[in-house]
Amino acid sequence: MGRSHRQSYGGGEMSVAASLVFYFLVFLAEILMFGLLSLVLFWVVYYRGGFKWREDPAREFNFHPVLMVAGFIFFMGHAMLVYRLFRCCNKLTAKLLHTFLYLLAVPCIVVGVITVFDSHNLRVPPIPNLYSLHSWLGLVTVGLFALQVTHTLVVGFFSFWLLLCCEQGTASFRSGLVPVHATFGIITFMLAIATCVTGYTEKAFFVMSNGLYAQLPDEAWVVNAQAACLAGLAILMGFLLYSSRYARASHPVAIVDPPSNSHYVMTQKTYYYRDQM
């Protein structure tokens, strides 16, 4: 009889102390994401007059901060946390949930972009588009997000679904796409945070001009609190997503050594044969 043993590769196994720290940090991130979305809704409803469509361009703009925070921060942030939180679920389930959350962000971002252009173009006189630092950063962020969605829907569908009929031949190709997608996802999220902060600053100076912002009225506290939430999310999400100790567990590999000079490597679905050198 040959001998067999099981090995684990990569992260995924955490001590009790590490698990407590991990879930505490996730809890803080959830508070910040839900808190930020609640604050921006409160801000535009209580201080900015709520929502209107094209008949009132000033209040149509209020869709922009709410939808951008919902799409880029709330839905995209949760999409990136899926692979950290659902550690014991089937990886296909995690992929589907990750894709679903990304898709929820798409209409938020599309409508958010439309409303900001509408609110500028329909003003009398019109406000110029794409002139500020905030708008330039936003353009880059939306472009990177579009690439991420294209990768998820087109490349992801092709590589992770159609190519599964040839799993062995495409394994290296599919695994090579994962770090690229993950890295650009984190970059897009951090750029979104930077864009939001510049947007809050720009809006605060517009609506609280004539030195009022420097006096820190109640609205200024609400705006600053949203920026503080974004800064906290940048720190927490960066740590949670980059730390290898919180990575999803790799599937175990069983190695069976027959009484010969070769061995078989058995995964959950496929058997591979390797000659020993």
Per-residue pLDDT of the chain (277 residues; tens, 9 = 90+): 443 333 333 445 677 888 888 899 999 999 999 999 999 999 999 999 999 988 888 899 999 999 999 999 999 999 999 888 877 667 778 888 988 999 999 999 999 999 999 999 998 889 999 999 999 999 999 999 998 888 766 665 665 555 555 555 556 666 666 777 788 889 999 999 999 999 999 998 888 877 788 888 999 999 999 999 999 999 999 999 887 677 765 544 344 444 455 444 444 444 443 433 3
Enclosing H/E stretch for 275: strand 271-275
What pLDDT shows up at residue 150? 80
Q: Answer whether the bond into residue 125 is a cis peptide, omega within 30°.
A: yes
Measured in whole angstroms, the distance separating CA 49 from the mean position of its chain's CA atoms is 30
Question: Domains of the chain, with CATH numbers?
Answer: 13-251 (1.20.120.1770)
Query: Is the whole-model pTM more than 0.85?
Result: no
What pLDDT shows up at residue 263? 47
What pLDDT shows up at residue 166? 59
What pLDDT shows up at residue 13? 64
8 A C-beta contact, residue 67 and residue 112: yes
What pLDDT shows up at residue 8? 34
| CA–CA dist 180, 173 (Å, integer) | 12
Phi, psi of 4 (to 5 degrees): -140, 150
Measured CA to CA in angstroms, residue 53 lies from 50, 116, 253 at distances of 11, 11, 57
| CA–CA dist 78, 30 (Å, integer) | 9
- Region of 272 (left: φ > 0; alpha: ψ -120 to 50; beta: rest) is beta
| CA–CA dist 96, 76 (Å, integer) | 14
